[in-house]
Amino acid sequence: MDTPDAASRSFPRQQGDRLLVPARVLPRSSRSDLAIEADGLRVHLTAPPVEGAANEALIALVAERLGLAKRQVRVARGAAGRQKVLEIESLSVEEFWRRLGR
């Protein structure tokens, strides 16, 4: 998938020492994967959206891809929906893109 250039990226947004990253989650997918879209992350998860399993899988996948501890990533908004906002501690916008290889 083509990634948007730096000028057209509308995310993530820095808020103090935290990043706010919008994510669209697709649970019960055939594989877990993360893709970058113009307005946020698109995250495919094998976990079902039951009893927080998808949220836990989302946190684990994002933390792994960014090389962070799971405790540094949390679902700030949208815990019960597909549209979520992740809050990531101690990471700059530039470092976010560098760690994702963009």
Is 30 domain-assigned?
yes
CATH number of the domain encompassing residue 53 = 3.30.1200.10
Q: What is the pLDDT of residue 2?
A: 44
Q: Which domain holds residue 93?
A: 6-99
Q: Say if 1 falls within a structural domain.
A: no
Question: Domain total for the chain?
Answer: 1
Q: Indicate whether 94 belongs to any domain.
A: yes
Q: How far apart are CA 102 and CA 95, in angstroms?
A: 10
3 pLDDT exceeds 90? no
At 42-81, the pLDDT tens digits run 999 999 999 999 999 999 999 999 999 999 999 999 999 9
Distance CA 56, CA 8 (A): 30
The pTM of the full predicted model, rounded to 2 decimals, is 0.88
